[in-house]
Amino acid sequence: MMQSPEHKPEVRKVLISAVLLSPFLVALLFWCVCLPRDPFRSVPTSTVVEDAHGELLGARVAEDGQWRFPPSADVPEKYARCLILFEDRYFFSHHGVNPFSIVRAAFGNLKAGRVVSGGSTISMQVIRLSRPQAGRTFGEKILEAIMATRLESRFSKDEILALYASYAPFGGNVVGLEAASWRYFGHSSSHLSWAEAATLAVLPNAPSLIHPGRNRNCLKAKRDRLLSKVLAQGWTDSLTYALAIAEPLPDAPEPLPDCAFHLVQNLSVTSAGERIRTGIDARLQKRVGQTVDRWSEEFVRSGIEDLAAVVIDTHTGKTLAYIGNSRVHSSRPGSLVDIASSPRSTGSILKPFLYGALLQKGALLPHALLPDIPVNYGGFMPHNASRTFCGAVPASEALVRSLNVPAVEMLRLYGVENFQHFLQNAGMTTLCRPSSDYGLSLILGGAEGRLDEITRMYAGISGAYQDCGWMGRVWPLTDKCTLYYMVDVLKELDRPDELDRSLISDLSRIAWKTGTSFGGRDAWAVGVTSDYAVGVWAGNASGASSPDLLGARTAGPVLFDIFNQLPATPWFSAPLASGTSVATDRDLSSHGVWAQVCRESGMLKSRFCTHADSLIIPQAGLKSRVCPYHRPVTVTADGKRRLASPVAGSHIENIFVLPPAMEYYYRRIHPEYSGLPALEASSSIDDGNARMAFIYPQQFVKIKIPPLADGSQGEIVAALAVPEPEIEVFWHLDSEYLGSTVNIHKMSFTPGVGKHILTAVDANGFSASVSFAVE
């Protein structure tokens, strides 16, 4: 349909209006989109690590080589006042561009015949800082002005000040107020004096003036003129002004704090370019670092070059101090290695967790006897550090003395795979191989652990007991009674290689454990109180061993030195109030139960046990093993002989009797142990109590017999445990008779290469056999 003639002028007016308005619409659109949402998004920043209170622990340079801290929203008042007074007195009055300043600058430049003032506002300078590749042409100046107005519409004045303070150049590779404050004055910008604030306010105007020997008098003159303006504004008094202008300019840039070198280094990889607030206490970090360096100076004389320490708050799980390695000899390549987060052989440091796992499961009571005799687990034959055996030892004592043979037996009871899962749930991330790879050696250092993780696991014992909750849902130790026994036993640690207890008598009680890896390559000491957990590792990052490297002699003293710098803490409260014995007590159901425990075996009392004690045990402990060692024995009237059957005047006694192999060693260190009385000669039939057991060789062991000095073949010496030593025992190797023994039941012989069966038969006809092989 054709339009009527009267409508054509109206269409023409609309078109003309659109043409006239389009430049303004385009300009408005350009104004809206000319400024990126984050003008400095692509600018790399340094990694900055702070302690729990915001104190700088260390920093790493940005990827472009600049010391440029991540932006901060806060600008110190002194610096803000000095900056505005020097750069843009009408900052809070304009909207990004100050026409009067531009006109004044233009006349000044014409009068001087050169550029002496740019007339740029702080907002325009922020735009220039965000476009470092832009030229300094008249067109660029106009664009800066436009973008500055957009900046003002998007950001508040305080935010614009913060952007300038974060990205202004301060000479060399120092960018931003915070980095400049640390590099030139050695402290945070929040502690700037008037002289320091004025220096940094004028410096971006001519950052090259900061360099020694380069017109530093000019820099001081600029600073002092600004300080006189500060005085004129009434922001300071004459005395403060006089002191301020007397302050010298900074010399060469100062090194940044670096008291947590390895922690900062780690975070610069995982959180590069960020500002990270940690749980570290800077003052404690410095003290612990000094302690580690002091001990490292001593250890290095013994060939022990590396030392690490970690302190954890048991209430929060936060790391309060982290010394990845001693820096006293920082020129050593090994000093760069963060030992605290490096997997190292654990030695005996995991034994308390196995003890706790068995207690909580109900497979063991706190003081239950464990065998400590020579054993052979498919070729794996553990031995104690002392190379001796106790025969039988309470589980708590085995933990305190760090005996290896009972520990391996405990792991056999609990299961290697179960214990691996237990440790993983407790926080160990280094157990990456199948459990079959670790085997029973897992508890003796056959696995690797990190100092920071293991210290956190010990902190978890305290945290779980105090219901702190930071350990997470999968934390495996939850039974309060178990947790209390763990710390209560460890506070009595008194190993033969332990340092003198008198040195630590002034300290609060500490539950602690040491560990030394095979070959003397790793020494551990970890301790815990109700408030703190401290872990120490000593050794060589290279893996080199040292004969002086023992947990209690190297890591132990450092551990107590660190604890000595921590506030004394109260000991853990017992799981039940003293004297509580009512089964319906509220605490009883949540913390433990009372049980009758055999005094000799530490196991649940059987009907034959003669002495028992009332003991609080974990709930699951009620299903643990009943004492098997007390048995009824028919004896003569005087009790000195046992009988195969009752006779006139005889009676039954319940006697504590260990198996022969356990008895063999137990009797040596327990003279009070009586065992079975000798069999009455008139008893022609044995009562079945007397048995024999081979001490050496163990079943299925493989033996290598070294030749003698003259080249002849050597011998092996077999040993037999016999409850009645005075009885005669006859020895046979395969089908060959070797001889007989009385009282001391040992036999020397020279077996050939191959498999053999050694048999011993006593005078009563009872026998024992063992199979072994000679390679």
Q: How many CB atoms lie within 10 A of CB 55?
A: 16
Q: Given this model, what pLDDT does residue 417 score?
A: 96
Q: Given this model, what pLDDT does residue 685 score?
A: 53
Digit-coded pLDDT (tens) for 657-701: 999 999 999 999 999 998 888 877 666 555 556 578 998 898 888
Q: Given this model, what pLDDT does residue 289 score?
A: 95
Residue in the block written with tokens 């550090």: 385
What amino acid occupies position 459? A
The closest of 204, 226, 222, 206 to 214, measured between CA atoms, is 206
Q: How many CB atoms lie within 10 A of CB 210?
A: 25
Q: Chain-centre distance of CA 583, in angstroms?
A: 40
Q: How many whole angstroms separate alpha carbon 306 and alpha carbon 546?
A: 12
Whether the CB-CB separation of 419 and 411 falls below 8 Å is answered with yes
Q: How many whole angstroms separate alpha carbon 291 and alpha carbon 538?
A: 13
Q: How many CB atoms lie within 10 A of CB 74?
A: 13
Whether the CB-CB separation of 311 and 534 falls below 8 Å is answered with yes
Q: Take residue 80 and report the two structure tokens written for it.
A: 């803000």
Q: Given this model, what pLDDT does residue 475 score?
A: 96
Spans in the chain with pLDDT lower than 50:
1, 495-498, 500, 502-506, 577-589
Q: How many whole angstroms separate alpha carbon 178 and alpha carbon 666?
A: 69
Q: Given this model, what pLDDT does residue 604 score?
A: 97
- Helices then strands, counting H and E runs in the chain, come out as 22, 28
Q: Given this model, what pLDDT does residue 587 score?
A: 43
Q: Given this model, what pLDDT does residue 95 score?
A: 82
Whether the CB-CB separation of 549 and 538 falls below 8 Å is answered with yes
What amino acid occupies position 536? V
Q: Given this model, what pLDDT does residue 107 score?
A: 64
For 321-386, the DSSP string reads: EEE-S--TTTTSGGGGS-GGGS-EE-TTTTHHHHHHHHHHHTS--TT-EEEES---BTTB----TT
Do you find a cis peptide bond into 567, omega within 30 degrees of 0?
Answer: no
